[in-house]
Amino acid sequence: MYRSAMEQLNKWKQKTNKKPLIIRGARQVGKTWLMKEFGKTAYEKAVYINFDNNPQMKELFSLDMRIDRIIMGIELYVGHKISPHNTLLIFDEVQEVPKALSSLKYFNETAPEYQIVCAGSLLGIALHQGTSFPVGKVEFMDLYPLSFTEFMRAMGKEQFVDLLDKGDFEMATMFRQDYVDLLKYYYYVGGMPEVVQSFVDNRDFNEAREIQERILAAYEQDFSKHAPNEVVPRIRMLWNSIPAQLTKENKKFIYGIIKEGARAKDYETALMWLTDCGLVHKVYRVTAPSIPLKAYEDLKAFKLFLADVGLLGCMVRLNQSVLLDRNELFKEFKGALTEQYVLQQLKTVKGVDTYYWTNDRGNAEIDFLIDTGNEIVPIEVKAETNLKAKSLKTFCEKYNPKMAIRTSMTDYKQEDWLLNLPLWAVEKKLSSF
């Protein structure tokens, strides 16, 4: 299965002064597969160590931080010598042995010739729990579910991706129905690798949904297994409220939807836990659309999105026939699904920070603002072909951005101040900025 992250890993390998690499991402997004595949295709040898429930490795790293002794212990564990120049060391679920995480500092300082990639589903949580962390001694890479582009490739539609790569929208528009059909499949299947692979192999919506349900159940188990007992009920309540939050016309997160009378301070830990796991994305409001957007964050106002559009559909028990057959009753939730989809694609665009904007009166909202480093681009999201974009026009008249984007099911069209961008081309177009 093609993952664009492999290109990032190969770039890391080519660096002369590389540091140990930590891959961050939610459980089941494909971190383990990616590391093993990278080891298999880019190195002569790969040594894979899973620290989950591994008492030998826990003991090895508990003694001291002498790298020569650690390497000898790993060699005894795997049964062969380790040559640093042609071998990839893979540390999986590294947060389970905090001293293994701390050792990355010493690898970087005293034995930089060893090439190490690490991952951990609950790594962010471990860091907030006081694990000694090698600040400045490691590199990071974020891994997300498959993007729509990756999904198209998995479905054997490389030529459709190539058209978008070339920016040939005249030709792409001739095949708009194919793109729309693929997009609908993606809305349902999402980008979790196991779900995608199942759908590619069998084209079975029910089987895809069963796997999604298993993934959601595994997340629920993580809540109970790893979170403090007193926080678990709040994590569950917050997690289960997200679909209702996204269905609202104003998608700003409201604590009162979780439970009547709920306050921010009661759910701070629960929210941090979910974001640290990579299960939710937090998109802040900005008070002004100026560079850099981060300087204008309103930390009290934010939207929450899930990691994956397919999991969102699973949580609300969305039936495939409703999605595929243009059911009129589906209109309201379609907006939430579409906004989730767009945010998911934006997360895969490297170097782009995402926010949203509302005016002071709250009667105008821009779904997303992105900061490319050089300019601010407003993005209006429309689920269908209704192109009334009053908020976008208000925003552009006031702030006069160089470019504004309206993404919908309509065809590609560049107007004076506005780019009409088909939903199926969002990722490819924005990655070219």
- CA dist., res. 78 & res. 299, Å (int): 48
pLDDT of residue 390: 83
Q: Is the pLDDT of residue 38 over 60?
A: yes
- Identify which of 348, 353, 423 has the alpha carbon closest to the alpha carbon of residue 385: 423
- Identify which of 100, 373, 311 has the alpha carbon closest to the alpha carbon of residue 187: 311
| Domains contained in the chain, CATH given | 5-142 (3.40.50.300), 148-430 (no CATH)
For the stretch 146-166, pLDDT in tens is: 999 999 999 999 999 999 999
- CA dist., res. 334 & res. 227, Å (int): 33
pLDDT of residue 351: 80
Mean local confidence (pLDDT), 231-255: 93
Kindly give the pairing relationship between strand 297-306 and strand 353-358: unpaired
- CA dist., res. 397 & res. 69, Å (int): 65
Identify which has the larger pLDDT, 133 or 164. 164
pLDDT of residue 324: 75
Output DSSP code: residue 46. E
How far apart are the two ends of the chain, measured CA to CA in Å? 26
Q: How confident is the model at residue 239 (pLDDT cuts 50, 70, 90)?
A: very high
Q: How confident is the model at residue 329 (pLDDT cuts 50, 70, 90)?
A: low
For 69, list phi and psi in degrees, rounded to 5.
Answer: -70, -40
Q: Which of 69-83, 245-259, 270-284 is predicted least confidently?
A: 245-259
pLDDT of residue 327: 59
Q: Which of 39-53, 118-132, 227-241, 287-301 is predicted least confidently?
A: 118-132
pLDDT of residue 135: 73
pLDDT of residue 417: 80
- CA dist., res. 331 & res. 120, Å (int): 38
- The 3-class secondary structure across 214-261, one letter per residue, is HHHHHHHHHHHHHCCCCCHHHHHHHHHHHHHHHHCCCCCCCHHHHCCC
Mean local confidence (pLDDT), 20-39: 96
Q: Is the pLDDT of residue 120 over 90?
A: no
Please answer whether residues 178 and 160 qualify as being in contact, where contact means their C-beta atoms are separated by less than 8 angstroms: yes
- Beta-bridge mates of residue 306: 280
Calculate the alpha carbon distances from 328 to 100, 180, 324, 331 in Å. 54, 18, 11, 6
pLDDT of residue 124: 67
Q: Which of 118-122, 215-219, 274-278, 341-345 is predicted least confidently?
A: 118-122
Mean local confidence (pLDDT), 56-67: 93
- CA dist., res. 197 & res. 373, Å (int): 36
